Amino acid sequence: MNPGGETPQPLAPELEERVRGSFARQTFMETLGARMTELARGWCVIELERRENLLQQHGYLHAGVVSTLADNACGYAALSAMPMDATVLTTEFKINLLAPAAGERLRARGQVVKSGRTLTVVTAEVDTLKEGAWKPVALFQGSMLCLRDTADDHTR
């Protein structure tokens, strides 16, 4: 999956710096060990390695981790398509869990479906790397709110 099946458009350096800076301020992503591995206009990929403290009782990566990665990949895909004075906030989402997240690595690939002035519709595919192959574990769809003139730095 990539933006519209096309080659992703690179971001202007100041926009890329703003999006990556916002991601870096999310201490929860640091807690999970998540990292942004790809970023382009309307496109974001976030990955994390399997760790024992992220598992549910059956030994799979917890659905909360799967949902969080998808939500963040979509949020940053949306932010990458918003004006420079905007920040992003999730307004709603639905996730379909297709299979247990049983791999060594989790990857969420988020993309913008339609970007509007106020709301951006997004989707993500989440998969795990198991035995050298990526296997789908979830589909995510949501809406992101474009907040204008609002700082996304909670320390201010």
Tokens encoding 132 = 């050298």
How many helices (H) and strands (E) the chain has is answered by 3, 6
Q: In whole angstroms, what is the distance from residue 19 CA to residue 6 CA? A: 21
- Chain segment 109-140, per-residue pLDDT in tens: 999 999 999 999 999 999 999 999 999 999 99
- Chain segment 27-68, per-residue pLDDT in tens: 999 999 999 999 999 999 999 999 999 999 999 999 999 999
Q: In whole angstroms, what is the distance from residue 133 CA to residue 89 CA? A: 33
Amino acid 8: pLDDT:
77
Name the pTM for this structure. Answer: 0.92
Q: In whole angstroms, what is the distance from residue 119 CA to residue 140 CA? A: 16
Write down all domains in the chain, each with its CATH number in brackets: 3-148 (3.10.129.10)
Asked whether 38 and 79 are in contact (CB, 8 A), the reply is no
